[in-house]
C-alpha cells in the first residue's frame, strides 16, 4: 500500500496511468492532494513534478488508486481496463480508456476516449469531446460546445444550451431539450430524437434515405419566437423525431 500527501498551490493537476483496476478521484482539502494506491506492482511510483502530482506503474497488473484533490483540479487519467470515477467538480478532465467506464459530476472541459466503456456525467460547462466504439455517452447538461461520436453506442444528452455535433453508425441519439444555436447529426442506422422548447424557430435541414421524419403538430396559437436553432440531420435508415420539450 502506498500513501502520499502533497502540499499544492491554487493551480494543480494530477496525472495517473494504470493498466487495470480503478481510479477514484474524491473531494479533498484546499492546498492538499493525498494519494492512496493498492497495488502489487513494485515499480509503482507517486511523486510531485512541478505543479503536477503523477502516479504510474511500469509492470502493469491491477492497481487501485484513490486521489483526494481540491475542487477544480485538472485530471488526466489513462487505463487499459480500469474504471475512472470522479466526485468533485474539476477544471479539465482528460481520460483515455480501452474498456473501462468513465463517470464524473461536473467539469469545465472534457476530453474522453474509450473503446467499450461508457462515458456518463452531469454537467460540462465548456467544451466536451467524447469518442467511444461501443460504449454509451450520457451527459445531463452541455452548456457551451460538444462533439460526441460512437460506433454502436447510444448518445443521450438531457439538455444542451450550446452547439452540439453527434455522429454514430448504429447507435441512437437523443437530445431531450435543445436550446443552443445549432445541432448537427449523422447516423447510419440509429434513430434520432430531439426535444425543442416552445417559441423556437427551427431551420431544419434533414435528409434520410429509408427512415421517417416525424415533426410536432403546429401550435394552434403561436407566439413570437424567443430563439432560433439551426438543425442539420443526415440519416440513412434511422428515423428522425422532433418533439416539443415542454
Q: Residue 34: is its pLDDT beyond 70? A: yes
- Number of helices and strands (H, E) in the chain? 0, 24
Q: Residue 29: is its pLDDT beyond 80? A: yes
Query: For position 220, what pLDDT does the model report?
Result: 63
Where does residue 102 fall: left (phi above 0), alpha (psi -120 to 50 degrees), or beta otherwise?
Answer: beta
CA 153 vs. chain centroid, Å, equals 13
Average pLDDT of every residue of the chain: 93
Query: For position 217, what pLDDT does the model report?
Result: 77
Share of the chain above pLDDT 70, in %: 98
CA 4 vs. chain centroid, Å, equals 29
Q: Residue 223: is its pLDDT beyond 80? A: no
pLDDT confidence bin for 221, thresholds 50/70/90: low
Q: Residue 116: is its pLDDT beyond 70? A: yes
Domain range annotation of the chain:
118-246
Burial class (CB in 10 A: 0-12, 13-18, 19+), 15: middle
Residue-wise pLDDT for 132-163, tens only, equals: 999 999 999 999 999 999 999 999 999 999 99
Burial class (CB in 10 A: 0-12, 13-18, 19+), 205: exposed
What is d(CA 194, CA 175) in angstroms, rounded to the nearest whole number?
5
CB-CB contact of 215 with 187 (8 Å): no
CB-CB contact of 106 with 90 (8 Å): yes
Q: Residue 218: is its pLDDT beyond 80? A: no
What is d(CA 38, CA 1) in angstroms, rounded to the nearest whole number?
5
Mean pLDDT computed over 211-234: 84
pLDDT confidence bin for 51, thresholds 50/70/90: confident
Q: Residue 97: is its pLDDT beyond 90? A: yes
Write the DSSP assignment of 142-198 as a string of letters.
E-SEEEEEESSS-EEEEEE-SEEEEEESS--EEEEEE-SSEEEEEESS--EEEEE-S
Query: For position 10, what pLDDT does the model report?
Result: 84
What is d(CA 185, CA 183) in angstroms, rounded to the nearest whole number?
7
Amino acid at each position: 500500500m502506498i500513501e502520499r500527501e502533497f502540499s499544492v498551490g491554487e493551480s494543480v493537476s494530477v496525472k495517473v496511468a494504470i493498466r487495470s483496476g480503478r481510479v477514484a478521484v474524491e473531494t479533498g482539502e484546499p492546498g492538499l492532494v493525498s494519494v492512496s494506491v493498492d497495488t502489487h506492482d513494485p515499480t509503482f511510483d507517486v511523486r510531485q513534478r512541478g505543479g503536477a502530482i503523477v502516479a504510474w506503474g511500469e509492470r502493469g497488473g491491477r492497481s487501485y488508486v484513490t486521489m483526494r484533490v481540491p475542487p477544480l483540479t485538472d485530471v488526466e487519467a489513462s487505463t487499459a481496463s480500469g474504471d475512472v470515477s470522479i466526485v468533485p467538480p474539476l477544471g479539465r478532465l482528460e481520460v483515455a480508456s480501452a474498456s473501462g467506464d468513465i463517470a464524473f459530476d461536473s467539469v469545465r472541459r472534457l476530453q474522453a476516449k474509450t473503446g467499450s466503456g461508457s462515458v456518463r456525467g452531469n454537467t460540462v460547462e465548456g467544451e466536451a469531446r467524447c469518442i467511444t466504439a461501443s460504449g454509451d455517452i450520457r451527459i445531463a447538461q452541455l452548456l457551451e460546445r460538444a462533439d460526441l461520436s460512437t460506433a454502436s453506442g447510444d448518445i443521450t444528452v438531457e439538455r444542451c444550451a450550446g452547439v452540439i455535433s453527434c455522429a454514430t453508425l448504429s447507435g441512437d441519439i437523443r437530445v431531450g431539450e435543445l436550446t443552443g444555436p445549432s445541432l448537427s447529426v449523422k447516423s447510419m442506422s440509429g434513430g434520432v430524437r430531439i426535444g425543442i422548447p416552445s417559441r423556437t424557430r427551427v431551420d431544419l435541414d434533414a435528409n434520410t434515405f429509408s427512415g421517417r421524419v416525424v415533426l410536432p403538430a403546429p401550435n394552434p396559437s403561436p407566439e413570437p419566437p424567443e430563439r432560433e436553432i439551426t438543425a442539420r440531420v443526415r440519416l440513412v435508415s434511422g428515423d428522425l423525431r422532433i418533439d416539443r420539450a415542454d
